[in-house]
Amino acid sequence: MASHRRPKQPTRTRVTVLTVTAAAAVALSGQAANAAPAKPSKDEVKSKVDALYEEAEQATEKFSKAKEHQDQLEKEIGQLQDQVARGQEELNTLRGTLGSMASAQYRTGGIDQSLALFLSADPDNYLDKASTLEQLSGKQVEAVQKIQAKQRGLAQQRQEAAGKLADLDATRKELGDKKKASADKLAEAQALLNTLTAQERAQLKDEDTRASRSEGERVDLGNVKPSGRAGAALAAAQTKLGSAYISSATGPNAFDCSGLTQWAYKQAGVNISRTTFTQINDGTRIGKSQLQPGDLVFFYGDLHHVGLYAGNNTVLHASNPRGGVKYESINNMPFQFGVRVG
């Protein structure tokens, strides 16, 4: 027969120990939950900030590309609108000529009904009806055909302008999006930097400066003798060492990466395009072993960063908001290819 003994009750001492232990566990877990997260180290902040700078630069180059497209569209739209205005004036003149013919015909015995159709309040409906031309004189036929051609040309130009205006609206929206994306990343990076002490921020700046100086000395040790326009571009860029990096800046006191390369080549008398995405087509592509001082060098899979080859495996570039214009080892970034301008 099964036993139905009453379970042994815990002693008062045991209950007290269990209660104290449980309370301690709850207190410790509460402290762990409320404990502030460990402050990231200077190197961790640097790594995160560099990644954010990278994302901001991607957005900046896309912004600059969209801005360039917007400027081109506005120029083309302006030209089309001028053409349409001139075309409308020419069309009015042609209609005036046709009206003069009708007036002369009326004075000599009445206006031809076909000609009256072209001069009616809604002549466009009749201009494509070639059969009516058979009833007009040679000069009248010629005038009507000119009006037809001019109207078709104006319709095409207006349609083209409308398409470009729609493209312009989309481009302006893209501009706003890319500008905001870049600004957001830079603000996030600055917030991270603000978690460091003033001394730690100064140390980061000093590290960048010393690294740039060291790479510059490597260039000198390589006995680099740049020449030609590429050499002149590099020499111009070297005068901007230490200048600030500012998104979308093109000099002369601050630059982004493609703004520096464009400015440097302009000082050498060569006009290259504005963004990394177009500068890749401003010359002949070459490999790392073919690089000479002043060649453009492109980095990252999406080609959003560019600098000038300075020799001895060193790049001179507008790096980021913390480093500014500086020398850096070509091996610090994922090199894609070089471009020899001219």
Active site residues: 257, 305, 317
Please work out, in degrees rounded to the nearest 5, the angle formed at the alpha carbon of residue 298 by the alpha carbons of 234 and 256: 65
Which of 248, 260, 329, 192 has its CA nearest to residue 56? 248
> Is-contact 293 234, C-beta < 8 A?
yes
Task: Give the containing element (helix H, strand E) for 317.
Answer: strand 314-318
Q: Is the peptide bond before 252 cis (omega within 30 degrees of 0)?
A: yes
Cβ burial, residue 311 (10 Å; 0-12/13-18/19+): buried
Tell me phi and psi for residue 250, to 5 degrees.
-125, 20
Tell me phi and psi for residue 317, to 5 degrees.
-155, 160
Alpha helices (runs of H) in the chain, residue ranges in sequence order: 12-34, 42-107, 113-118, 124-127, 138-193, 198-221, 228-238, 257-267, 276-279
Q: Is 314 helix (H, G, I), strand (E, B) or coil?
A: strand
Tell me phi and psi for residue 316, to 5 degrees.
-110, 120
Distance of CA 166 to CAs 74, 77, 153, Å? 11, 11, 20
Q: Is 62 helix (H, G, I), strand (E, B) or coil?
A: helix
How many alpha carbons lie under 13 Å from residue 187 in its C-beta half-sphere?
6
Distance of CA 53 to CAs 57, 114, 117, 179, 190, Å? 6, 71, 68, 14, 10
Taking the CB of residue 105, how many other CB atoms lie within 10 A of it? Answer: 17
Q: How far from chain centre, in Å, is Cα 31? A: 48
